[in-house]
Structure 1
Amino acid sequence: MKDRVVDRLVYTAYAAGWGALKHLPEPAARALFDRLADSAWRRRGKRVLQLEANLLRVCPEADEARLRELSRAGMRSYMRYWQESFRLPVWGRGRVLRDVRVEGFELLQEVLESGRGAVIALPHMGNWDLAGAWVASRGYQFTTVAERLKPERLFDRFVAFRESLGMEVLALTGSSVSVVGTLARRLRAGGLVCLVGDRDLSDAGIEVTFFGEATRMPAGPAALCQRTGAALLPVSLWYEGRTMRGRVHPEVVVPAEGDRAEKTRAMTQAMAAVWESEIREHPEDWHMLQRFWLADLPVRETVEAGAARSGGAAGRAVREPAVRPPAEAAGEPAAEASGA
């Protein structure tokens, strides 16, 4: 009963906020979300502290003042993601095309025009919903995956919103539809799949080195490309004034040697190297408010994950999405959200 009441309150709060925000003048909406970001930053809750711990890996030379400056900018960038996403339904195609600039898009066009499928893989940078709207506005429909939110009605609303932007959204769990099978079919038919792929701390993740330390990233992008012959194209996003910038990087090719697992690891590491360079250039636009490196995990999770890789059944770690709704970023309970 209590869970149902909480779910109803969460949904009502988000629905009301979503509806009201669309009608605010844009300067007022920006100012409101900047204030929310600054308020959360000043409280120095666990999300802000974790963001600073992550940023210190990215910018190890930063002194305390620089780190605080970066974390404040990071919170503003993170809240900008939500402000833009809530207002996207009233932007229109012209606004989306005007406010997004993407370098290297011809690389994706060449792949798709050849009849070959493509996987775009992004880190949690900038605004991937806005990037998706831009791709759809250019006439390219695509398929993506979303983790389920609680309450269910909030998840349904996010799915409907993304589908209104031109995306096909598959639920990661709780559906009779095979996610991997559907993605593979889309790719074999020459379609486009977009996945957020910089964080998977479950035992299914691929261990890579990132900023000199071990973490795990999803195997899905590389595995799908091996399975279907699709091209794997890493993408990075960042803000530059009122414009969101993006870059499509050259294809990560399947290695000529090694078994499937070795090839998947090599491709995932290659993507990580691309993102490492881009995040180093734009650290404030990497929205990573959760634990990211294996060294930061509790001992129990690390031991269980190791047992799972050795065949044990205990290591089925719960996947923790990297992006949280605004209330939770400020240290308040809220539903989980994912940009995948």
Structure 2
Amino acid sequence: MSGVQERVTDALYGLGWATVKKLPEPVARRLGRSIADAVWKRRGKGVLRLEANLARVVPDATPQKLAALSRAGMRSYLRYWMESFRLPAWSRQRIAEGVEVKDVHLLTEGLAAGKGVVLALPHMGNYDLAGAWVTTKLDTPFTTVAERLKPETLYDRFVAYREGLGMEVLPHTGGSAFGALARRLRAGGLVCLVADRDLSTSGVEVKFFGEATRMPPGPALLAQQTGALLLPVTLWYDSSSIMRGRVHPPVDVPETGTRAEKTSVMTQAVADAFATGIADHPEDWHMLQRLWLADLEHVEERPA
């Protein structure tokens, strides 16, 4: 991305946070749907990639069904952005009433045990809203990690936005994040990590909807090293103003095996939990990038 493109991108995000949060909620919803439909009709790379990913999730879907799913997926994705731009202006009551989570007792009981909890989430629903709900409704601060975006001013915007919602945000790069997360967990804290797409070269290979991909080892490694509870979580929208979620059963550390073997087993269990939630609500999985190894290898082998 050139310097001019970076500045334009930063300005657009800034405009979103400055203006969309002032709109009445019904107006923001309609605006999001209109933008989503316009983008979907253009059939750009993101929409086509979303459809290709959804074809793995719903392998028996007809082209018409995939098109309908991708349109619903873009509406869900833009709903995420409209909500995110408006979240700083939401009242504590609006945040608390905007999320309903099944089996949240697994989280609260895990925190009460004092060993720390790692929540692993896919790119699904609105994890910023879920985070705001945790800090507001559950009155529980937590630590997360953010990808370093370019330009730096855009990364700073996202950090300030999430810190304003009560989160502690660490940069993904730099090497110090893992140690800081481990310290938070040993102190009985909560760590939340988006974990369905590997951003490093150390991802663990897993089977996901029947095909190979890589997912981050961080959640499994943190659970092994600190004794924290590892809980997968999936999120989805219903037709109202409510976002719903489910805390899946804990992923236990295997009793035998090397560290690498344990990490592999645990990461596969996280992937399986993600797959369950995504299969139930595929339109709310916002994966507009290449994910499976077959797609990534095709890009790597293509001549420059």
Please give the TM-score of this superposition, normalised by the length of structure 1: 0.85
For structure 1, the residue ranges without an aligned partner over 5 or more in a row are: 304-340
Residue 302 of structure 1 and its aligned partner are, at CA, apart by: 7.4
The correspondence of residues 1-340 of structure 1 with structure 2, limited to 5 A, is 3-137=2-136, 138-173=138-173, 178-200=176-198, 202-241=200-239, 242-299=241-298, 301=300
Q: Is the CA contact 1:201–1:216 (under 8 Å) kept in the aligned structure 2?
A: no
TM-superposition CA deviations, 1:141-160 (whole Å, max 9, x none): 00000011111111111101
Corresponding residue of 1:324: none
Unaligned runs of 5+ residues in structure 2 are none
Q: Deviations over 1:134-180 (max 9, x none)?
A: 00012110000001111111111110110111100001125xx7111
Aligned partners of 1:235 and 1:249 also within 8 Å: yes
Q: Is the contact made by 1:123 and 1:198 (CA closer than 8 Å) also made in structure 2?
A: yes
Distance 1:8 1:207 in 2: 36
Distance 1:226 1:281, change over 3 A: same
Amino acid at match of 1:130: L
Distance 1:299 1:69 in 2: 27
State the identity %.
63
Hey, what's the Cα distance between the residues in 1 that align with 2:201 and 2:160? 31
Q: Which range moved further: 193-202 or 55-64?
A: 193-202
The whole-number CA distance in structure 2 between the counterparts of 1:3 and 1:297 is 24
- What's the secondary structure of 1:116's corresponding residue? coil
Tell me the TM-score normalized by structure 2. Answer: 0.95
Q: Which moved more, 1:2-11 or 1:188-197?
A: 2-11
TM superposition outliers: structure 1 runs of 4+ over 3 Å: 2-6, 298-303
Contact 1:201 1:215 in 2 (8 A): no
Q: Per the alignment, in what secondary structure is the counterpart of residue 49 of structure 2?
A: helix
The one-letter code matched in structure 1 to 2:33 is D
Q: Aligned partners of 1:299, 1:278: CA distance in 2, in Å?
A: 28
Tell me, in whole angstroms, the C-alpha distance in 2 between the residues paired with 1:17 and 1:300.
33
